[in-house]
Amino acid sequence: MIVFGVLFFIFGFVTWLNGSLIPFLKIVCNLNDFEALYVTFTFYIAYTLMAFPMASVLKYTGYRNGMIVGLLIIVIFIGILKLFKFTADRY
């Protein structure tokens, strides 16, 4: 049960972190208000669009393994973002 609580906190933190990055996105990427808030909008639309496909993944893998798959997806995309940042810093 403690593992599920910790994982729930991690997923919630990633969701909260997205909203707190909006002012920094506006500055770094020269975005207006609409474009910056569109980032949050697409984040929550992704929840809506991916609910049914991920439900089938949960049915196949189970709840515990489904959370592990979710964490692996987060780690993969963080790695991709780090790669893009490293590439952008070099040029």
Whole-model pTM?
Answer: 0.53
Q: What's residue 91's pLDDT?
A: 66
Mean pLDDT in runs of 10 for the chain (91 residues)? 80 80 84 85 85 86 85 88 78 66
Start-to-end C-alpha separation, the chain: 46
Number of domains in the chain: 1
Range of the domain at 26: 2-90
Q: What's residue 76's pLDDT?
A: 94
C-alpha distances out from residue 50 to 58, 63, 67, 72, 81, Å:
12, 16, 14, 16, 21
Q: What's residue 38's pLDDT?
A: 86
Task: Quote the radius of gyration of the chain (alpha carbons, Å).
Answer: 16
Q: Where are the alpha helices (DSSP H) in 2-91?
A: 2-20, 22-29, 33-61, 63-90
In angstroms, the CA 21 to CA 24 distance is: 5
